[in-house]
């Protein structure tokens, strides 16, 4: 990590009932940090009191930040991926773009020293090639990615013009225990656990960008604690992508009865082959620690023990 460590003060986590937000709350609690957890609705992480807030309503956000008086905001409140609310594009835009702007404005007014906005590798889009770094211009393929790119621009503007200590963190495909949004990866593992054949869209050479939830949380906490951040945007990912075929074979090594039919018969999906992590390595000493086999094993164990109903896959993340 960069020299020194800043005092977080009280930390406000938005989207605290969500996958990454809840994991962040648990991690911060374990570190002994005072946390205010906020979301539009529950469930609260581990029974922690939840401060309700609609991020699209500026007055509600102003009241939340005024009452919480945080020194740090970890802004995870958002539509969580392109598979969610795809039939409601305007709502995606309002929640992700307008919601972030409301957070930034209230943070400016109340003198919050650092705001970390969760963004996504989806901002790069499918036209990017190779290992891409943060200097690559966003070219998103969907409203979700565009809304996150717009949120990043708001972060840049408030940082440069208003002097707010704000930064965006681009996470890749976060997976692991606690995720409730149905995904192809969950469907794959559940099928292996239950001994049923599964059909998935894709080609063995399609590149995946899976990031275990503990690594995502580690990166966000390190960004929050770093005394100095030399950049405005950071990739926090697993680095080089992994072909879908390798993901399936890794899952099969853990679940020998797994039978998979891939329905893609065309060329592999276009897009980045991975994401450069040099900035995060230099500034916050971040590198992913959970390899794919370990992550899938832990996720499969969670699914075995989970009382959640099996959910059909709806996206390749």
The reply to whether 58 and 120 lie within a common domain is yes
Q: How far apart are the C-alpha atoms of 272 and 238, rounded to whole Å?
A: 13
Q: In the predicted model, is pLDDT for residue 21 greater than 60?
A: yes
* CA separation, residue 23 to residues 26, 84, 99, 249 (Å): 5, 20, 21, 28
The reply to whether 33 and 74 lie within a common domain is yes
Q: What is the pLDDT of residue 84?
A: 81
Mean pLDDT for 232-248 is 96
Whether 276 is covered by a domain: the verdict is no
Mean pLDDT for 280-286 is 97
Q: What is the pLDDT of residue 306?
A: 81
The reply to whether 94 and 194 lie within a common domain is no
Percent of the chain residues past pLDDT 70, beyond the cut: 95
Q: What is the pLDDT of residue 268?
A: 75
The reply to whether 25 and 115 lie within a common domain is yes
Whether 40 is covered by a domain: the verdict is yes
The reply to whether 18 and 145 lie within a common domain is yes
The reply to whether 105 and 166 lie within a common domain is yes
Q: How far apart are the C-alpha atoms of 314 and 317, rounded to whole Å?
A: 9
Whether 284 is covered by a domain: the verdict is no
Q: What is the pLDDT of residue 80?
A: 78
Give the pLDDT band of residue 46 (cuts 50, 70, 90).
confident
The reply to whether 93 and 224 lie within a common domain is yes
CATH number, domain at 224?
A: 3.40.50.720
The reply to whether 192 and 259 lie within a common domain is yes
The reply to whether 55 and 158 lie within a common domain is yes
Give the pLDDT band of residue 310 (cuts 50, 70, 90).
very low
Percent of the chain residues past pLDDT 90, beyond the cut: 83
Q: What is the pLDDT of residue 31?
A: 95
Mean pLDDT for 281-309 is 91
Q: What is the pLDDT of residue 180?
A: 84
Would you say the C-alpha torsion 142, 146, 149, 151 has a positive or negative sign? negative
Other beta carbons less than 10 A from residue 280's beta carbon: 25
Q: How far apart are the C-alpha atoms of 279 and 217, rounded to whole Å?
A: 17
Q: Among the listed ranges 72-81, 131-140, 211-220, 299-308, which one has the minimum average pLDDT value?
A: 299-308
Whether 310 is covered by a domain: the verdict is no
Give catalytic residues, as residue numbers. 144
Q: What is the dihedral of CA 157, 88, 237, 307, to 10 degrees?
A: 140
The reply to whether 34 and 155 lie within a common domain is yes
CATH number, domain at 186?
A: 3.90.25.10
The reply to whether 113 and 202 lie within a common domain is no
The reply to whether 115 and 59 lie within a common domain is yes
* CA separation, residue 70 to residues 74, 99, 166 (Å): 10, 18, 14
Give the pLDDT band of residue 275 (cuts 50, 70, 90).
very high
Q: In the predicted model, is pLDDT for residue 59 greater than 80?
A: yes
User: What's the total number of domains in the chain?
Assistant: 2
Domain containing residue 114: 11-173+210-236
Q: How far apart are the C-alpha atoms of 252 and 249, rounded to whole Å?
A: 5
Mean pLDDT for 204-224 is 97
Whether 277 is covered by a domain: the verdict is no
Whether 314 is covered by a domain: the verdict is no
Mean pLDDT for 175-199 is 93
Whether 5 is covered by a domain: the verdict is no
Whether 282 is covered by a domain: the verdict is no
């Amino acid at each position: 990590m960069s020299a020194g460590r800043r005092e977080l003060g009280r930390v406000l986590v938005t989207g605290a009932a969500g996958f990454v937000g809840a994991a962040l709350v648990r991690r911060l609690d374990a570190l002994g940090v005072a946390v205010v957890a906020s979301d539009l609705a529950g469930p609260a992480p581990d029974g922690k009191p939840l401060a309700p807030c609609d991020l699209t309503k500026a007055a509600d956000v102003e009241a939340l930040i005024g009452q919480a008086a945080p020194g740090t905001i970890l802004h995870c409140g958002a539509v969580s991926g392109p598979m969610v609310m795809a039939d409601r594009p305007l709502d995606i835009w309002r929640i992700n773009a307008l919601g972030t702007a409301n957070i930034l404005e209230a943070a400016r007014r109340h003198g919050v020293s650092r705001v970390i906005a969760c963004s996504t590798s989806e901002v790069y889009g499918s036209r990017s090639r190779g290992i891409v770094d943060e200097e690559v211009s966003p070219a998103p393929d969907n409203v979700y990615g565009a809304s996150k790119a717009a949120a990043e621009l708001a972060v840049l503007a408030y940082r440069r013009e208003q002097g707010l200590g704000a930064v965006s963190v681009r996470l890749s495909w976060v997976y692991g225990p606690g995720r409730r949004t149905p995904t192809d990866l969950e469907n794959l593992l559940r099928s292996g656990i239950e001994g049923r054949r599964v059909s998935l869209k894709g080609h063995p050479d399609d590149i995946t960008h899976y990031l275990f939830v503990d690594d995502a949380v580690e990166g966000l906490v390190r960004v929050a604690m770093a005394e100095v951040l030399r950049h405005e945007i950071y990739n926090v990912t697993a680095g080089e992508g992994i072909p879908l075929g390798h993901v399936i074979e890794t899952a099969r090594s853990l679940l020998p009865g797994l039978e998979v039919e891939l329905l893609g018969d065309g060329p592999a999906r276009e897009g980045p082959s991975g994401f450069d992590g040099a900035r995060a390595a230099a500034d916050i000493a971040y590198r992913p620690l959970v390899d794919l086999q370990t992550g899938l094993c832990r996720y499969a164990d969670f699914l075995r023990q989970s009382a959640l109903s099996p959910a059909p896959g709806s996206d390749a993340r």
